[in-house]
Amino acid sequence: MSRGVPRTSPRAKTVAVVGAGLSGLSAALHLAGAGYRVTVLEAQDLPGGRNGSLVQEGFRFDTGPVVFTMVDLLEKAFAAVGARVSDYTTLTQLDPAYHAFFADGSRLLVRPGHEKMRDEIARECGTKDAAAFDTFVEWLRRLCAVELPHFIDVNFDSPLGLLRSPKAALELLRLRAFGRLGDEVARRFDDDRLRRLFSFQAMYAGLSPTRALSLYAVITYMDSIEGVYFPDGGMHAVPCAMARAATDAGVEFRYRTCVERVDRAPDGRAVGVVLGGGERVPADAVVVTADLPVAYERLLPGVSAPRVTRTGRYSPSAVVWHVGMKDAVLPDGAGHHNIHFGAAWDDAFVDLLDRGRPMADPSRFVAVPSIHDRSAAPAGDSSLYVLEPVPNLRVGHIAWESERDAWRDRLREFLVLAGYGGEIVTEKLVTPADWQAQGMAAGTPFSLAHTFSQTGPFRPRNVDRRVPGLVFAGSGTTPGVGIPMVLVSGKLAAERVKGLLP
């Protein structure tokens, strides 16, 4: 059923979108809303891409991101076709957003919104840090208000694009946005636990807090102030909802369809795609959402990838263990999202980023989605998602195939010591070698790290002048990694297409 957007004219310009992940779905919705005829080509039999789903012995696991923030960016994608998120799925804000466990045995809750979190800080950390939180939130809001429209939600053609809004650039300087996140947080709070809670998000940008720019405090704002949400039916419900909205708006989806390469005219222009069986799908423009190194290697033979894509610094990877537990017992105080901080901090990041070896004293993340989604596990059982950061394949030298069992035992020992118990009914361990096999460069699902030289206008652009008519979307290009960023990436890709095909 249509939600108010007229179906496109048969004479409308056509766009082929390669990949039905979040960035491709976002692009499809924005393009359909603008009147283009859109065909989405997806190798799998369902939408989602990295935001996938695994069903195993009665348990369902989300195989990609498990933290959802910035719902307003998702609303913009639906609004492009005259719809609302609530027309297709339900998102519930989690309170607490996180349950944080520390090596000294203490715990803190991350509560959504200013007042709730301030009360938690006052109760657990004291009035001085609670007052510091007030000024911290104000700083985060000002930073986000400047950064989102001028640095994130914008297509850059060159670094000179930063100069088109000098007032915004000056405001970022005044806000110390180009300082170090760890230092900025540390100077505000006395309690070391708060320093960790409000800076660990640097890992989403592929960096340690001591190296990440304060710019990336915007992730802290999205995460700890705007709040974390969970969709009915699990995280995979989001791409499924987006695909249904796109279908209602006239987008055609072709699943189980492998794209072999971008079809190019003699002058190099993209004129569609060629499928694995040789079929040509013509299009006036092509949006490719594959990881950039893979996109160039597999879909653009003869076109070299940008240097930063080939030789740049990639984010750390992760080992993820999906576990179905019968009669599961959770630690006292555990919830949906749980962060278990190790005693080490700075040196653990040196292990991960420089020495290329497992963290000697790691911090780990455990999600228990079955707390809010009973369809994720049989009655009385629990589904767990256990993550430990590890070096990517370019930095680390871990023999993943021969060490899989050892890593499984390592994570099992952690769960027992942390207080998670029960009989393991089913499981699946995912390593950097598996991420690489899925088409992710350097064996990391987090793409290029957000160093200064790989962020904003310095990140690989979403167009390549050597291939007119081709636009990229996804975490490897503008603006970067994470659900909010790839939703914006799809929107920016649609804007590029509009510029090509007015």
Q: Torsion angle, CA of 288/289/291/292, rounded to 10 degrees?
A: 40
Per-residue pLDDT band at 157 (split at 50, 70, 90): confident
Res 9: pLDDT: 65
| Predicted local distance difference test score (pLDDT) of residue 10 | 63
For residues 22-50, average pLDDT: 97
How far is Cα 43 from Cα 25, in angstroms, rounded to an integer? 14
Judge contact between 188 and 130, C-beta under 8 A. no
- b (16+ CB within 10 A) / e for 233-263: bbbbbbbbbbbbbbbbbbbebeeebebeebb
96-142 tens-digit pLDDT? 999 999 999 999 999 999 999 999 999 999 999 999 999 999 999 99
Q: What average pLDDT does range 61-82 have in this prediction?
A: 97
What confidence score (pLDDT) does residue 213 get? 93
**What's the average model confidence in pLDDT over 435-460?**
93
For position 425, what pLDDT does the model report? Answer: 97
How confident is residue 224, by pLDDT bands cut at 50, 70 and 90? confident
Task: Tell me what pLDDT residue 183 has.
Answer: 96
Mean pLDDT of 395-405: 94
The number of beta carbons lying within 10 Å of the beta carbon of residue 343 is 10
Residue 309 scores a pLDDT above 50: yes
Which domains, and CATH codes, for the chain? 14-53+233-311+448-500 (3.50.50.60), 113-226 (no CATH), 315-437 (no CATH)
Compute the C-alpha angle 232/333/93, nearest 5°.
30
Return the pLDDT at 106. 97
Average pLDDT estimate for 171-190: 95
Eight-class DSSP state of 175:
T
> What is the reported pTM?
0.95
Q: Report the helix count and the strand count for the chain, using DSSP H and E.
A: 15, 19
Q: Average model confidence (pLDDT) for the chain?
A: 95
Is the pLDDT confidence value at 223 over 90? no
- Residue 453 DSSP one-character state: G
pLDDT of residue 40: 98
Decide if pLDDT at 4 tops 60.
Answer: no
Q: In the chain, how long is the greatest CA-to-CA distance?
A: 68
Question: Residue 1: pLDDT above 60?
Answer: no
* % of the chain residues with pLDDT over 90: 91
What was the pLDDT predicted at 164?
Answer: 80
pLDDT category of residue 225 using cuts at 50, 70 and 90: confident
| Dihedral angle computed from the Cα positions of residues 327, 333, 334 and 335, in that order, rounded to the nearest 10 degrees | 110
Count of CB atoms situated within 10 Å of the CB of 228: 21
> What does the alpha-carbon distance between residue 346 and residue 199 come to, in Å, rounded to a whole number?
12
And the tokens for 293? Answer: 């190194």
Count the Cβ atoms, other than its own, within 10 Å of residue 447: 29
Give the mean model confidence (pLDDT) for residues 73-98: 97
Q: How far apart are CA 22 and CA 315, in angstroms?
A: 20
pLDDT for 3: 53
In the prediction, which pLDDT does 44 show?
96
